Every structure is written in structure tokens, then in C-alpha cells.
Structure 1
């Protein structure tokens, strides 16, 4: 998969769009999570489907190396079982905590492999979650928290990883990497 530049400056090297890495949910749990996101996320701000982010900003110029590493890791990994039994307040939104120790270990291994490429945000501790609401009033978020808690637990599988180009709006898919191990 070739790296492509989104823009360039006349006097410098091309500027590459950052990469975002997310977990791929099985179809049933994705449908449940995306349904919650469509119901509770402000429509004008809901630019991407339900997801759990592993890395928020990998350098786009490293696309080839990231893809090679993902292919290797995903070929040796089988589907990961998870549960979501806790809804967390984000103050002005709600997220569902993902309980999946194997995902945390997989992400830690990738973080070690990409250590020299990580932003400060991606070097912080990893607490996997799926955001179903953000940027609403505190009152609306508290009501959503109560409503979503009544739907828990949600269980499913993470079946692979996805890589996305961030170009300022909706994400553009850069690849899907199913777990085949």
C-alpha cells in the first residue's frame, strides 16, 4: 500500500496525513455500538462510525512500516473476546469501557514497536473504550449515561484492526487487517 501525500509545501517535504488505528468489532456488537452512537452523538458532529481507538496519531509517512507490522501481528492473533459492563461519564458525553486484557497486551506490543513514532497522547496509559456521545450538555450526558447503563452488558469479539487516514473530517480507510491466527 503506497504512502500518498495529501499536500506539500514548496520548500519542504510532502506533508502526510496522520494515521488512526482502531479495533474492528464483530458485526453484531458493531451494529449495537453504532446504533447507540447514531442515537446519542450530535448528528452534525458524528463523522465516523462506532470505534475503539488504539492509536490517535501515527505518522502518515510511516504507512508502509505500520501496515507491515499490522499484517504480521494480525496474522498471529485470533479474535479477542470483550465485554462492556461499565458506562463512563466524559462530563459532556458517555463512553463504554471495553474489558479485553488481550487487546491491552496487543496494543502494548504495538506501542513498543512504534515507540519512536508515538505522540504524547498515544504514550499515555491505554483504557479501551467506545464513545457513544460527546459534546452535549452535562444534563443530556447524565441522562444518556443512565439510559446506556440499562443496556449493559454488551459482549462480542474484536476481529481485527483498521487503519485510517485523518484528513480533517470523516476518516478515509487505509486498510483492514483481520485476525487470522
Structure 2
């Protein structure tokens, strides 16, 4: 058990080309002074920091599986931002399994059904977000991106500290 109480964040890691594409969009559209992170797919937002060892072990266990593709299914308005929606049966199953393991530690937000997405804009006026959503939706082409593993991070009040990566088995 780790003594650091700051929350843990779990993400799905994407292959380098997809990550770079989403990072470019985020750098272009996210307000610079508020963009502390690379693009990411959050699976769990706030697990207890004191449970780092158990969380790390659970991630290692579920990562012992083949990599899989994630469908990029559309552009989503977040109110004050824009995201790309993602879907994969393997991702849903993985999230369900981890939710069962993390059950007692889940916040109300993390108890909700997974709505996987990559945020490329946030914390802007709603009209600015709608305009970007409309532009990105007009040029959107469905695609697939490879998922390469799971990431574990410590939330530092804005930025995240990387703690571990658990690549999917080849």
C-alpha cells in the first residue's frame, strides 16, 4: 500500500501515430494555459492513491491480453469542449472487469458506464465549442486506432505524474 493519498488515474494508451494525431488536435484547440496533459482516454478518474499497489497489480492482470482496435465513431460536443467518441467491445469488457475489482473505491463518476472519448478542446465558450464540433464533424471519417495498453497516473491538481504503463501482451 502506498502512503500518497493523491488520486490515481487510469487511461487507455493508444499507439504512437494515433496519440500524435490527437495530441496535435488538442494542442491546436485546447486553451494553452489550461492544457496540462497530452490527449488521453480516461477509464477511471479518481482511484485512492493509497491503493496504488493493488491498482497496479489489477492493471497488470488485465493487460495480459492481446492488443485491440478502438473505433473512432464520431465527434461529440461536451458543452464547453469537443471530443472524439471511441468504442470497442474489448474496451467495454476491460472496463467492466476493472470496475468489479475497484468497486469499493469507485467515485460516483467512475461508477457510470464508460463513455470513452478523447477530449481535444475544453474550457471554452459553448459557441466556440459548437463551431469546432461542426467543423470536425463535417470532415469526420470513421476510423480505428490501435490500443497498446493501460497507463497509471497520479493526479497532481492539474498535471498528471506518470507512474506505470502496462502494455498489452503481444
TM-score, normalization: structure 2?
A: 0.95
C-alpha separation in 2, matches of 1:19 and 1:119: 12
C-alpha separation in 1, matches of 2:96 and 2:107: 14
Number of matched pairs: 169
Q: Please say if 1:109 is aligned against 2:108.
A: no
Q: Please say if 1:175 is aligned against 2:170.
A: no
Q: Which residue of 2 aligns with 1:3?
A: 2
Structure 1: which 5+ runs fail to align? 6-15
Q: Which residue of 2 aligns with 1:130?
A: 118
Q: Work out which of the residue numbers 72, 76, 86 in structure 1 matches 2:74.
A: 86
Q: Is the 8 Å Cα contact of residues 74 and 140 (structure 2) preserved in structure 1? A: no
Structure 1 residue 169: deviation in Å? 2.2
Q: Which consecutive aligned stretches of 4+ in structure 1 deviate over 6 angstroms post-superposition?
A: none
C-alpha separation in 1, matches of 2:43 and 2:107: 12
Q: CA RMSD in A?
A: 1.3
Structure 1 residue 85: deviation in Å? 2.5
Relative to structure 1, is the Cα distance of residues 32 and 154 closer, same or farther in structure 2, using a 3 angstrom cutoff? farther
TM-score, normalization: structure 1?
A: 0.89
C-alpha separation in 1, matches of 2:75 and 2:140: 10
Q: Is the 8 Å Cα contact of residues 162 and 177 (structure 1) preserved in structure 2? A: yes
Structure 1 residue 4: deviation in Å? 4.5
C-alpha separation in 2, matches of 1:84 and 1:69: 26
Secondary structure, aligned partner of 1:3:
coil
C-alpha separation in 2, matches of 1:69 and 1:22: 13
Q: Please say if 1:74 is aligned against 2:63.
A: yes
